Amino acid sequence: MTGRHGRAVAEPLIEREAHFEVLLRQLKSLRAGRSTVTMVEGPPGSGRSALLRWLTDRAGEKGIPVAAAQGSLTETGSAWGVLSQLAEPMRAATGPLLVTVDDVQFADFESLCRLHLMARCFSELPVLLLLAARSPAFPVSTGQQVALRELVDTCNAGGEVLTTAVLSLDGVRATLAARYGPGVDEETVLAVHTVTRGCPTVLRAVTEQFALTGLRAADRTRLRAVAAEETGNLFVRMVEVLPGDLVDLVRAIAVCGGQLGYDLVCRVAGFRDGSGSLALVRLRAAGLVTGDERPELADPVAAERLLAVMSTAAREKLHLRAVEAGWLAAIPDEALAEMLLWVRVHGAPWSVAVLRDAAAASHAGGDPATAVKYLQRALAEPMDAVSRAQVRIELGAAQLHHAPRASGRNLGEVIRSPGGAEVDELRVQAADLLLARGDLTLVHRLTRAPLGRMDSGSGGGAALSALHRLTDEGKHEWAEQPVCEVAPGPPHPAEAGVRAWQLSLGGEDIERVRELARIGVSPDTPPFVPRILACFALCLTDDLDEAVAGLDSVVTDALRPGADAAVALALATRAGVDLRRGRTDGAADDLDRASRLMPDDSWHPRFALVLRLAWARLHLRLDETELAARSLDGPVPSGTEDGVLWPQWLLAKGVLNLRRGAAETADAQLSECGRRLLSAGVHNPAAVPWRAALATAKWNRGAGDEAVRLITEEHRLAARWGAVGATVRARRLLSPVHGETTAYRRRRRGEWGERRSDRAVPRVLPPRHD
């Protein structure tokens, strides 16, 4: 090893002082002509071999010869393999002799028996027998197990047994101090101890990696990576020395991931009946595998590295066998889906179903990223047009939050897919999901072509036509006819919902709106967006209970396919209905749930304000001006000014500025709000009560005539619409204006400034904005 400046650094053995004392005492006894036998036990990487090397160096310094042997799993069946390594130096010895055997748990049966005999009979000879064994040790045969146990018992009875453990926190601190000096901070010590788990071998790798740059607590991610890599290196080095059949078994265990019984794992590995019974014992003896019935790798992180050295074809074949075995064993869908991820194309009909079911479970469990992996893998399988469209819809729903553009691409692929009538309903579902998120432009562009070839009398054609009408923002003609002609007879629920909403915004024919909206809220009828709009229309007709019932139904139905945007949109609409009923707590609960379901960055930019606007309305209703300002004063996404929500945003901003006393700013914002709404044909005061707010701004700025005109117009339009709620609100606005007309005219003649502070401000702005 080298230090930070390239100089050699001796590797310290920390927390081994008690071991040194015992071994030095035994070495002294050896020089005095007495024999000793010692067993060093410990887990992999704990420094057993380092202790043997340390004593070997001390013996060399004293001129004592050493006979060393190394146990190996590859030679565990070779008779006298370990003893043959000791024969020559033992024959050459003429005085005290240090005999070391590392990894004695891998020694063959014959060698173990002879070592046991040596341990018992060397009492009259100057021999120090030092053995090192992995703990726990699982010899590969019953005979070897008995022989090793007897050897350990002999060490316990007439010798010493030393145990090497992982380093404590103090041990890690001392190791780092020996490498970097005493200035290593405690946070770094704790981080290193955590990632290395005190394993001396892994700790040595970490200190080597950071030798040039030094250790810092901020490097915790890199620390974990280095520790994991070295742990994997240890594991792979141990596997590399195995016989070929055991390597095959280790790889099979890696791909099965503890999901299959041992019999099936052996089948995956290519073992024949009964041929793998001893193999598992040998792997457990090496510390590579844990478990009996469902074996797993001792270090699951190393699985990918073990498989990386295989050829692509061999690796694919192994994974394919694991998938088939998993299917036969009926393991959980999620586990089988993980296996299918490693197979490029499986081809069996059940593979797509397994991947979709696993994705649905992951999505429902709050893990959409895993669901995306499964569904993307499913698209690699051969399937019919309907199944492929279903997978893409599920994929688009799963990608909604963390990859909204990819979500739009997948849903768009469904809309323009080449399938025929069998795919029409799925086209409607995909367009509906895009609309709920606010991607009107994409839906408008993609739906025109399929509408040209769809049957206008079919449910799919009528529903897609209704959705297309919602996206034509350029013309602002809410009564515009759909692209494909509507068949005679009762309208499709989607058409009815869209038409009811359009008519309600115009503020005419309330009974026709009510009739269409009731058709549009039919439960269990896709798509969702027209149903939400129909509920909004029922809200404007004062049928609030029906509106809430319809929105409840949408929330329930939309939860099943994972249409988060539709659920959030329905919740925001229901919050608006609750505000009209004076139920602010219910509105807050719905908005809180919608915000968790669809954060602002999950919406399309044109709909990014939908929840901020809803929260602002609630705060304004509760006279929480500061909270309303937090919702309204922040930056808005690019393109929002051209969206359908911008007029309502201007209304909320105008009301907020009226509360702040900024009548001039409010006047400009509310005037622009009205201009945009009138341009779009929105006249109903029950939908967006902008005239009332603008009248207040005008009055406060001294434009009394304008205020009177706006309030009078508000009352006329409310009466034309005919909803009781809108009419009553307009009358409450109108009566104080007439009562103030004389006072207003007098002030306009010169007394305005003198009596401004004590004048009675007309109740133009309602106390509640809904």
Neighbours of 234 (CB within 10 A): 19
Pairing of strands 127-134, 97-102: parallel
Q: Can you give the length of the chain in residues? A: 770
Query: How far is CA 573 from its chain centroid?
Result: 28
Name the DSSP class of 751.
Answer: I
Interatomic CA distance for residues 343 and 318, integer angstroms: 9
* Inter-CA distances, 676 with 320, 684, 695, 717, Å: 61, 13, 17, 17
* Close Cβ partners of 324 (under 8 Å, ≥ 6 residues apart): none
Neighbours of 734 (CB within 10 A): 20
Helix/strand/coil for 316: helix
The whole-number pLDDT of residue 482 equals 39
The whole-number pLDDT of residue 663 equals 93
Backbone angles phi, psi at 132, to 5 degrees: -130, 130
Contact (CB, 8 A) for 743 and 759: yes
* Inter-CA distances, 122 with 69, 199, 476, 510, Å: 18, 35, 104, 109
Averaged over 636-648, what is the pLDDT?
86
The whole-number pLDDT of residue 209 equals 76
Question: Please, what's the b/e burial string for 545-574 (b: 16 or more CB within 10 A of its CB; e: otherwise)?
Answer: ebbbebbebbbebbeebbbbbbbbbbbbbb
Instruction: Point out the least confidently predicted range of 140-144, 214-218, 390-394.
Output: 214-218
Helix/strand/coil for 160: strand
How much of the chain is in helix, strand and coil states, percent to nearest 5? 65, 5, 30
* Close Cβ partners of 54 (under 8 Å, ≥ 6 residues apart): 13, 16, 20, 23
CA-wise closest residue to 106 among 126, 82, 136: 82
Neighbours of 355 (CB within 10 A): 28
* Close Cβ partners of 673 (under 8 Å, ≥ 6 residues apart): 647, 648, 650, 651, 654, 688, 690, 694
Higher local confidence (pLDDT), 465 or 76 = 465
* Close Cβ partners of 396 (under 8 Å, ≥ 6 residues apart): 407, 408, 410, 411, 414, 430, 433
Each residue's pLDDT tens digit, 648-667: 999 999 999 999 999 999 99
Interatomic CA distance for residues 132 and 161, integer angstroms: 10
Each residue's pLDDT tens digit, 671-684: 999 999 999 899 99
Name the DSSP class of 491.
Answer: P
Each residue's pLDDT tens digit, 188-200: 888 888 878 888 9
Interatomic CA distance for residues 207 and 214, integer angstroms: 8
The whole-number pLDDT of residue 720 equals 94
Helix/strand/coil for 273: coil
Each residue's pLDDT tens digit, 579-590: 999 999 999 999
The whole-number pLDDT of residue 769 equals 39
Helix/strand/coil for 351: helix
Interatomic CA distance for residues 342 and 321, integer angstroms: 11
CA-wise closest residue to 364 among 560, 556, 524: 560
Averaged over 639-645, what is the pLDDT?
83
- Of all residues in the chain, the percent with pLDDT exceeding 70 is 87
The whole-number pLDDT of residue 275 equals 59
Averaged over 189-217, what is the pLDDT?
78
pLDDT bucket at 506, cuts 50 / 70 / 90: very high
Higher local confidence (pLDDT), 250 or 483 = 250
The whole-number pLDDT of residue 139 equals 56
Interatomic CA distance for residues 143 and 109, integer angstroms: 7
Interatomic CA distance for residues 203 and 225, integer angstroms: 12
Each residue's pLDDT tens digit, 547-593: 999 999 999 998 876 789 999 999 999 999 999 999 999 999 999 99
Tokens in use for 744? 């207003």
Question: Please, what's the b/e burial string for 296-315 (b: 16 or more CB within 10 A of its CB; e: otherwise)?
Answer: bbbbeebbebbbeeeeeeeb
Q: What is the DSSP string of 16-39?
A: -HHHHHHHHHHHHHHHTT--EEEE
Tokens in use for 331? 């393991």
CA-wise closest residue to 685 among 728, 621, 643: 728
Interatomic CA distance for residues 625 and 389, integer angstroms: 47
Q: Report which residue type is found at 253.
A: I
Q: Provide the CB-side half-sphere exposure for 284 (13 A, CA).
A: 19
Instruction: Point out the least confidently predicted range of 2-16, 393-407, 550-564.
Output: 2-16
* Close Cβ partners of 338 (under 8 Å, ≥ 6 residues apart): 257
The whole-number pLDDT of residue 730 equals 67
Neighbours of 752 (CB within 10 A): 14
CA-wise closest residue to 714 among 701, 724, 726, 700: 726
pLDDT bucket at 98, cuts 50 / 70 / 90: very high
- Of all residues in the chain, the percent with pLDDT exceeding 90 is 53
Instruction: Point out the least confidently predicted range of 179-183, 468-472, 618-622.
Output: 179-183
Averaged over 61-69, what is the pLDDT?
95
pLDDT bucket at 504, cuts 50 / 70 / 90: very high
Each residue's pLDDT tens digit, 271-321: 876 556 678 887 887 778 888 889 999 887 788 888 888 899 999 999 999
With 90 as the cut, is the pLDDT of residue 741 above it? no
Contact (CB, 8 A) for 283 and 272: no
pLDDT bucket at 135, cuts 50 / 70 / 90: confident
Higher local confidence (pLDDT), 326 or 220 = 326
The mean of the pLDDT values for the chain is 85
Backbone angles phi, psi at 387, to 5 degrees: -65, -40
Backbone angles phi, psi at 113, to 5 degrees: -65, -45
Q: Which long-range contacts does 267-272 make (Cβ < 8 Å, 24+ apart)?
A: 267/321, 267/325, 268/318, 268/321, 268/322, 268/325, 269/245, 271/245
Backbone angles phi, psi at 69, to 5 degrees: -135, 155
The whole-number pLDDT of residue 187 equals 84
Interatomic CA distance for residues 602 and 536, integer angstroms: 23
Each residue's pLDDT tens digit, 229-244: 777 777 887 787 677 7
Strands (E), 81-156: 97-102, 127-134
Interatomic CA distance for residues 580 and 543, integer angstroms: 11
Contact (CB, 8 A) for 364 and 394: no
Interatomic CA distance for residues 647 and 682, integer angstroms: 11
Averaged over 625-649, what is the pLDDT?
89
Name the DSSP class of 344.
Answer: S
Q: Report which residue type is found at 569.
A: L
Averaged over 144-169, what is the pLDDT?
83
With 70 as the cut, is the pLDDT of residue 86 above it? yes
Higher local confidence (pLDDT), 195 or 63 = 63
Name the strand (E) or helix (H) holding 466. Answer: helix 459-470
pLDDT bucket at 412, cuts 50 / 70 / 90: very high
Tokens in use for 13? 């053995």
Helix/strand/coil for 410: helix
